[in-house]
Amino acid sequence: MGEPAAQREGSAGPAAPGGARPARPGDRYKWVALSNTTLSMTMATIDGSIVIISMPAIFRGIRLDPTAPGNIGYLLWMIIGYLLVTAVLVVTLGRLGDMFGRVRIYNLGFVVFTLASVALSLDPLTGGPGALWLILWRMAQACGGAMLMANSAAILTDAFPARQRGMALGINQICGISGQFVGLMLGGVLAAWDWRAVFWVNVPIGVFGTAWSYRKLREIGPARRARVDWWGNLTFAAGAGLLLVAITFGIRPYGQHPTGWSSPRVIAGLAAGVALLAVFCLIETRVAEPMFRLGLFRIRAFAAGNAASLMGSIARGGLQFMLIVWLQGIWLPMHGYDFAQTPLRAGIYMLPLTAGFLIAGPVSGYLSDRYGPRPFATAGLLVAAAAFAGLLLLPVDFPYWLFALVILGNGLGSGLFASPNTSAIMSSVPARHRGVASGMRSTFQNSGMSLSIGIFFSLMIAGLASDLPRALGAGLRAHGVPAGLAARIAHLPPVSTLFASFLGDNPIGSLLRSSGELARLPRADVAALTSRRYFPHLISGPFHHGLAVVFGVAIGMSLAGALASLLRGGQFYYDSPDAGAGILPARAGAATMGPCPGTSTAAAPAETPSS
């Protein structure tokens, strides 16, 4: 049939930037592309989570007091800053990859990421200035990570034929997502040795990956010069940035309120962010070369896949943060572990979650190539929802074997979902838009992680605020603390109490020492109040109330994502190079597709312009 030369596997294709024609993809090259992009994605996502579990060691290393109210902001920005930058920049960098070459932008990302890792490990400052150094260089590192994330899926989609795309994207995606959980274990191990090692670990990987990518990767996909959509870039960055910054301030206390959602600054930030994103959408429908291809959302597989990805990412992010707080701040101290040991132990105890990802991901990617992505992606989110229900039913002081089984199930569900969903999204768009489609996909995924912090921490803090003051006040008075001081400690912002415990500090002992009250209490009461078990036992009831709210919302998010996945329709392939005898003749603005197992046999809808 009349398949254009540019769409045949092994054809030269359109000209690359600078006039050179892209290299022809060979069988060996696609495996080089897979291994290199998988290395980069794993490195970038490990760094997104390795800092979370290492926070106690980092705060001690830069001599930052975790009980000081002003230091809550440093903690939040060390975590959220990286996620915010990647969420804002991935679409722009994917678009630049379409324009100037995906491999070119990808290779630059390796360089930026590696240099920022060196700067992070060399932090010469302490206290607040030391924290600012880490926050700013984490943001610089996130720029490099966004370059890698925005273009890796597009590079793979260019390199692999349609029949192997699910397997390749599945391996890449699962290694990337599992990197979030590998980072938790690796952070626990490295933080027990030296907090600077948390950042040093990226340097040899980055140097090796940079040299390898510059030497072996080459441009294959179509790239064409176009104007940069400056107004679209500016309004998107400002709007998304304002939303995520407002969410960050919403977690912090405001006046007499446990959270800041009633703060005029937060409300104004949310309103301005939404307004700027509305302006951005209007701009993107009117410019000739938009940064964000809104027309791609008319492709049902693309729109539904991204909606499911957003819901799944929010639920997964909530799981990650709540499990760390649960293990490091409560369960491990209740079982006699010193706060200095909790990061390492928490990383080890979360290994079943990572194992579930690594088991289910490649298998679901392979099977989805044969039977279609919809059943596996939908089932994965349903399994994840069931695992959240299991966590909801666990007591705070759980038997570990039962906890391990439940989080293994959650890992299996997330692994089942991730690779088929990514393959369905990337295969449903025209080849020349794969860079921007990859960036859009990463934006939804990273935005979900950022949103999960605001959503789940706010829910947890609201749950603690309803029960914690009463439990804390009664517990302190029972050990002889004067009623006035007990009431003052009990009504501290719940976020301060929660984060102090998470960072390896007993807030009760610190506050009683600063007031001088410990010297006036009987020795037995002092020993009880300052023990590592007392505070975790005291807040376990209020914490479980907060967990019920958090995991209930996570169940709802997972079910909503499963519904979106179910409604995606049958899979089809744009620009399929090997669809077989059923390939339809190409026409201007239309896609070609052929019958593949588990896919739609109707022609793919024509590409709809976004202007």
pLDDT digits (tens, 9 = 90+) for 365-374: 778 878 888 8
Question: The whole model's pTM is what?
Answer: 0.75
Q: Determine the pLDDT at residue 208.
A: 93
For residues 77, 81, 82, 83, the Cα torsion angle rounded to the nearest 10 degrees is 110
Residue 93 has what pLDDT? 83
Predicted pLDDT of residue 508: 73
Nearest Cα neighbor of 369 from 149, 157, 599 is 599
Q: What backbone torsions phi and psi does residue 339 show, to the nearest 5 degrees?
A: -60, -30
Of the CA atoms within 13 Å of residue 564, those in its CB half-sphere come to 24
Report in angstroms the alpha-carbon separations of 306 from 18, 62, 315, 565: 33, 39, 14, 9
User: Token pair of 194, please?
Assistant: 């030296």
pLDDT at 381: 94
Task: Decide: residue 284, CB within 10 A, 0-12 exposed, 13-18 middle, 19+ buried.
Answer: buried
d(CA 318, CA 597): 36
Predicted pLDDT of residue 271: 94
> E strand or H helix at 465, and its extent?
helix 434-478
Supply 542's token pair.
């209020």
- pLDDT for res 17: 42
Nearest by Cα to 301 from 609, 599, 611: 599
Angle CA 531–534–535, to nearest 5: 110
- Average pLDDT value over all residues in the chain: 78
Residue 606: the pLDDT is 37
Can you tell me the distance from the alpha carbon of 41 to that of 338, in angstroms, rounded to the nearest whole number?
Answer: 34
State pLDDT tens for residues 219-277. Answer: 886 666 667 778 888 898 888 888 878 887 887 777 777 778 888 988 999 999 999 99
Check: CB of residue 41 under 8 Å from CB of residue 172.
Answer: yes
Name the nearest CA neighbour of 89 among 274, 238, 284.
238
For 153-191, b/e burial (b = at least 16 CB within 10 A) is bbbbbbbbbbbbbbbbbbbbbbbbbbbbbbbbbbbbbbb
Residue 4, pLDDT score? 36
Q: What angle do CA 49, 55, 56 make, to 5 degrees?
A: 145
- If phi over 0 gives left and psi between -120 and 50 gives alpha, with beta otherwise, what is residue 13? left
The per-residue pLDDT for 112 is 95
10-residue mean pLDDT profile of the chain (611 residues): values are 35 41 63 91 82 82 75 79 81 79 91 94 90 93 89 84 73 73 78 86 90 89 69 86 82 77 89 93 84 83 90 82 82 80 79 84 78 88 95 91 94 87 82 74 78 80 78 82 79 73 68 68 78 79 82 92 86 50 32 36 37 31
pLDDT tens by residue, 383-439: 999 999 999 899 988 999 999 999 999 989 988 898 788 878 877 888 777 767 777
pLDDT of the residue at 582: 31
Rounded CA-CA distance 22/14 in Å is 7
